[in-house]
Amino acid sequence: MQMMERVMELEEKKKLTVITLLWLWWGELNSFRGGVQRLATEVAFITALQADKFQTTKISSLNREGRVPEIRQTYRWLKPPEGVLKINSDGAFKCNERTGWWGFVIRDDRGAVVKAGAAAGHFLTDAFHAELLGFLAGLKKLQEWALLNAMNNKLKGKKEITVTRPGCFMGLIHFLANRTQEAMPAPAPPISLGAPTPYITSHGSKVARLHTYDWVVLVLLAVLDGVLNIIEPFHRFVGSEMMTDLRYPMKDNTVPFWAVPIIGIIGPIIIITAIYFKKRNVYDLHHAILGLLFSVLITAVLTDAIKDGVGRPRPDFFWRCFPDGIPDYNNFTTGAICHGEASVIKEGHKSFPSGHTSWSFAGLGFLSWYLAGKIKVFDRKGHVAKLCIVLSPLLLAALVAVSRVDDYWHHWQDVCTGGLLGLMVASICYLQFFPLPSDEKGKLAPRVFLLSLDLF
């Protein structure tokens, strides 16, 4: 109201120019929703031209020529009932880039502004999508404002503390009802509301393209890990006296090597995909799988690099080196002179750290982080069942680690180090894509999706 009073106090020409600019600005906003955009210089030229025309043209002369002046319906704000807060939101959409902007304003029944805000949005489906983002941001600010008022009331010693008034939610209903009643000067073309959350069919390929370099890095990590498995590890000196601790019998793996990717990768992906079919959020699906694969592959590269560099013999190295049970040592150095199969001896120098353990804790540790965020395990409501669900993947990883010691393929130091390594990498990779599970935002969506909305 103060702005309009200032405008009406201007001289006639300036007043017409400002009013014309506001009128054209509203029309340009609706045109921009439909994907049409003009340069600012062009809008300024039209504004000056129309203002001069309105100043020199008389309505009476137009009537004498038989032309009826254009009557344009104006946008009128309808105030809410007394004691009710009302949210108005608006959005703009750039169809060729799938980006846009949104804004909101919260006013009381007197028209006074309580809160307002605006920001850019990405990965939008249409103009209505942008407008809904503005409405959601306004709702969040309204909740924060109500909570702050409640805290102030408590500090002032009021007996009754109301976090949110019923009128606030009546105002939201009032907002939705009045959207069909408030007139628009130039309504945008009919639009259809897209999916409430981004789907694979609508956003999957674009999200994947935005992370092309990440997928390329994953492939390079897989190739590097393959090379590390091919090269010969360091052959640590093994003397005759050291063989006392390396004479454990050779046993088959309780958990075969081919089962580790099923436990650490395929299993978590199945659970993540099941959550996608419930949440229908492609950002969550994409970044959960990407983070899981990064966790496992980074752990694999670190594990195999350390294996090749350390070359620690396995607990059953005696039987790998001397399969016939007849030892042979150097008379001068007392070092073992192995006559077993070369591939078996090579594998015998890869004890530290445990690959089965690190892979399992990398994949299942990431899954535990992911489940903790999805089921709100840290909501402070004391649901122990949620904690049991989160710890279940870690228990499975621990059982894999115990099997490596029971099979005499690793020393206890190997599995402890492998478990810590896998869990550490899993934590880093999870926090790279998602907020902490204790964070309120972590219950909603991956970090990159929240940042794309510019809400936080």
Q: Which residues are marked as active site?
A: 356, 410
Per the listing, tokens 């079919």 go with 277
Q: Looking at 156-204, list the stretches that DSSP marks H as alpha helix, in order from N- to C-terminal side.
A: 166-178
Q: How far is CA 113 from the centre of its chain?
A: 32
Buried b (16+ CB within 10 A) or exposed e, 228-247: beeeebeeeebeeebbeebe
Q: How long, in residues, is the chain?
A: 456
Contacts of 142 (CB under 8 A, 6+ apart): 85, 87, 106, 114, 115, 164, 168
Largest alpha-carbon pair distance within the chain?
124
Phi/psi zone of residue 311: left (φ > 0), alpha (ψ -120 to 50 degrees), beta? left
Read off the tokens for 418: 């492998």
Looking at the DSSP bridge assignments, the partners of residue 440 are none
Pairwise CA distance, residues 244 & 206, whole Å: 59
Q: 377 vs 146, 264, 278, 446, CA distance in Å?
A: 26, 22, 18, 17
Question: Rounded distance, CA 440 to CA 11, Å?
Answer: 53
Of 230, 234, 254, which Cα lies nearest the Cα of 360? 254
